[in-house]
Structures are given as C-alpha cells and as structure tokens.
Structure 1
Amino acid sequence: MQVTLIRHTSVAVETGTIYGFTDVNVANSFPTEAREVAQNLAQEQFDAVYSSPMSRCTKLSAYCGYPHPILDERLKELNFGNWEMQNWATLQDPLLQEWYSNWIHIPAGGGESFMNQYQRVRRFLDELRQKPFRHVCLFVHSGTIRCAHIYAGMISFTEAFSKDIPYGGRSDIQI
C-alpha cells in the first residue's frame, strides 16, 4: 500500500514555540502554501484520506478537496505536556537536559516520549495495512511523518530528526 504523507502548512506561532498537542491556527501564508500542496496532489487518486484532528491538518485537507477526512487521534503530533506553548529558547525545566539525552524514551514535559508517539502511529499503520486500499493520504505532523518513516524502515529511531520535513511537504512510503 502506498501512503502519501502531507505535513500541515506553517502555523501562526512565534518561531521556537512548542505546540505539539495544542490546536494552533495556520499562518497567514496558508492560501499560498495550501495551493502548492493541492497542485501537488491534483493528479492523485486516493482510496481513503485520513487526518489528524488538529485544525492545521483538517484545514489543509479541506483546501485540497477532502473536506471530510477520516479523523484519527493516533495521527496527532507529540504531546509535549507542560512544555506546550512555551519557547524552546526560554524553557526552564530541570528535566530538559535529561530529555535531550534520551528523547526516545523520556516523556517531553510530562507528556509523551517519542517512543509513545511511535507506538500510537505504529498501531494506526498496522490497522491501515489490513484495509483493502492501494493508495491513501494522511494529513499529519512532522513527528507523525518521522514515525511513519521508521515504521516503513526508511530510517532508524536515532536518525528520526536527521532530515527536515518542511511545512506542506510530501513524503511517500510503502507499507
């Protein structure tokens, strides 16, 4: 099964803001960015379209012609717990350095670890593989895409952040 992964467009938050589980709005550049994504998908035929329930994903899905995607909580970004809506540059938490040294297993800000997020995404993809689809599209987040790349064997956990995933970016995997 081919899975097309689309990252949401830019968001209306200050650079460096931690917003994983927070439902932040899209940036003013949304129409321009979304138009590019829609053009990129214009020739595609999907058997199903899924989305994170976050508005930054559902707005893009709707703009691209999929106003009623199948929403799934497992497709959300990492839950950064108490760090949500704080800025990385000014974050004051004694556990931050510990998290940096073991972000795969230590929950961010008391939220969830990258492994927790991966397990969520893995369960979704395991379930998706059982469906009779040939090509599906997911409107999601960079962390979700990184988890999907690990699932597909494209990268390892330690390589998860070695490549940038741009806003509005597209990636395709086979599962």
Structure 2
Amino acid sequence: MEIYLIRHTKPAIGKGICYGQSDLALAPTFSKEVEIITSKLPRTLAPFAIFTSPLTRCSQLAKALFPRHDVKADSRLMELHFGTWEMKSWNDIPKEEINPWMEDFVRVPCPGGESYRQLYDRCVAFITELQQQKTDKAIIITHGGPIRAIHALFKDIPLKDSFSLKVGYGEVLKLEN
C-alpha cells in the first residue's frame, strides 16, 4: 500500500488555541500553500483513491488540489476531539483537568472528548477498510493527530512516542508497506 498523507494548510486562528474538531476557515496564505503541496504530489493521480476529513480546513484543500477527482470525506480522519477544551486557550485550561491528560494522553480522554488511543483506533479502522477493499494507492488529507497515528501504525511506533513526528501545515508524508 502506498499512501500520501497531507496535513491541512494553516488555519485562520491565533496561536495557543485548542481547536481539534472545531471547524475553522483557512489563513490568507491558502493559495500559496496549495502550490507548494501540489509540487510534492505524484504527477499521475489516476490510480489513487482520495480521502479527506470532512472539516473545512481539509475538505477545502482537497477540492483545491483535486478539483476533477472523486474525493470521499470520512469522519474517522477528523482531528482529536478535545471536548470542553475546544476553542479555549491552552493556558486557560485548568491544571487539574489538563495534567492527567498530559501525563497519559494515549489513554486519558479530554473532558467530553476522546483519548489519542480512540483517535488511533478510528484511523486503524479506516486503514483496515482500505486494505480490505484492496486500495493500493491513497491520498489522505487530514490533520496532525491522524497523520501521527497512521504513521505509528505503518512504522510500528508506540503511540506515546508518535508525537516525535513533526507535522507542519501543508506537510506531505509518503508511507509504504
């Protein structure tokens, strides 16, 4: 299986805000970022199945990159659900709430949200379904969390260590197995 994982471009939000599954607009640099991403993709897209998170920051990028292709949205590709922390400043989240999560983000869910393990499990279910459908080549437009989770799956990296993978906005990562 050959997969290109593409992280969405820069969202229009200030630094230090927890925004997981919140639906955000994209920054004014969107067009320039699309050009850069396009230069990193294979020239022939015909054999690739294309998938996106349904959130605007991914689906808008998918439409810009692949205007003449069938792009399928799948909610399993959404970012971590941060629950009651969504759209709060990280600094405003009470320490008694954030510390247990910071100590074991793999297993501890955010209040009203999910754990990294839950995100990983839905990403694994997505990849497993692709494999069962014999999808050999895929392009996936998603978020930093799912990219790290899928990378951990392909490279057999413990989840607690998967955040060592730095994934910038507009990053393109190719995986094969």
TM-score (norm 2): 0.93
Q: Would the aligned equivalents of 1:50 and 1:72 in 2 still touch at CA under 8 Å?
A: yes
Q: Would the aligned equivalents of 2:148 and 2:165 in 1 still touch at CA under 8 Å?
A: no
- Which deviations, in whole Å up to 9, do the C-alpha atoms of 1:117-150 show, x marking residues without a partner? 0001010111011123321100000000011011
CA distance, structure 1, for counterparts of residue 44 and residue 110 of structure 2: 37
SS at match of 2:168: coil
> After the TM superposition, which residues 1-150 of structure 1 pair with which residues of structure 2 at under 5 Å, given as runs?
1-41=1-41, 43-45=43-45, 46-66=47-67, 68-92=70-94, 94-150=96-152
CA distance, structure 2, for counterparts of residue 164 and residue 29 of structure 1: 21
State the Cα distance separating 1:32 from its structure 2 match: 0.8
Q: Would the aligned equivalents of 1:76 and 1:144 in 2 still touch at CA under 8 Å?
A: yes
Aligned partner of 1:169 in structure 2 is 171
TM-score (norm 1): 0.94
Identity of aligned residues (%): 31
CA distance, structure 1, for counterparts of residue 163 and residue 132 of structure 2: 29
Structure 2 spans left out of the alignment, 5+ residues: none
SS at match of 2:88: coil
The 1:42–1:126 alpha-carbon spacing in structure 2 relative to 1, beyond 3 Å, is closer
State the Cα distance separating 1:94 from its structure 2 match: 2.0
CA distance, structure 2, for counterparts of residue 16 and residue 162 of structure 1: 19
SS at match of 2:140: strand
**Aligned residue type for 2:120:** Y
- Which deviations, in whole Å up to 9, do the C-alpha atoms of 1:54-113 show, x marking residues without a partner? 110011111112464111010000000000001112222522111111110011132000
CA RMSD of aligned residues (A): 1.5
SS at match of 1:173: strand
Runs of 4+ in 1 over 4 A off after TM superposition: none
**Number of residue pairs matched by the alignment:** 175
CA distance, structure 1, for counterparts of residue 91 and residue 110 of structure 2: 15
SS at match of 2:17: coil
